[in-house]
A = this chain, B = another copy of it.
Amino acid sequence: MNRKIAYSGIARLSLYYRLLASLEKTGEEIVSSENLGRKTGCTAAQVRRDLASFGSFGRPGSGYDVKGLKETISKILGKDRGWKVALVGVGNLGSALLSYDGFRPQGFHIVGAFDNDKELFGKRCGDIKIQDIRNLDRSVAYSQNIKIGIITVPAPSAQEVANKLVSCGLKAILNFAPAKLSVPKEVELQNVDLSQELDKLSYLLRSKGE
């Protein structure tokens, strides 16, 4: 057992998980690294290496047990924990995320939505009532066991919101604002940067002469 997974392996585990969930639905019981790889866009070697960093889950000669591996990965990723999430910034993107029903089955439950626009207070979005951001404090976060925050405010307010989330004791932030946030190193930060994704496509197109 090779104890250290490549950082990029984590993202692949997420893909494997989703594929396993779908294989389970269609009744597949066993899957090989070859297949798991092809269906997630990874190589068989990556699949085996990634999984082997956490233990020996496969059976030589046959492959991996779909249901078992799915549960194993769920535990590795911590998806079995049922994370509670707070979202700040109920604009276009924020409300889209609130209404998205794909997070819950993945183990993420948005339990609070906050904004600073009076007009929105009390309105519902999905099944959550939008609250004044000032209602979010350490004790609320603690009592609701909220550990993850999603930032969907405009870039200029993003750092301020991040500070707030940190001061409320949240441990992880998913940031959609196109801004570089500073958070204490013990707080995990992931950025989703839509313009950056388009820039990558643009570069690839341009560099092949489109």
Contact = CB atoms under 8 A, between A and B. Distances in A.
Interface of A: 10-11, 13-15, 17-19, 39-41, 76-79, 81, 83, 85, 91-93, 95-97, 99-100, 102-103, 106-108, 147-148, 171-174, 178, 180, 186, 188, 190, 192-208, 210
24 contacts: A10-B200, A11-B200, A13-B199, A13-B203, A14-B199, A17-B199, A40-B180, A77-B203, A78-B206, A79-B199, A83-B202, A85-B198, A92-B95, A92-B96, A100-B194, A102-B178, A102-B194, A102-B195, A148-B202, A148-B205, A172-B205, A186-B208, A188-B204, A192-B197
Contact of A108 (B39, B95, B97, B198): B198
B196 A172 contact: no
B83 A147 contact: no
B195 A103 contact: yes
Nearest to A150: B198
Contacts of A78: 202-203, 205-207
A201 B197 CA distance: 20
Nearest to A210: B171
Contacts of A10: 199-200, 203
B77 A199 contact: yes
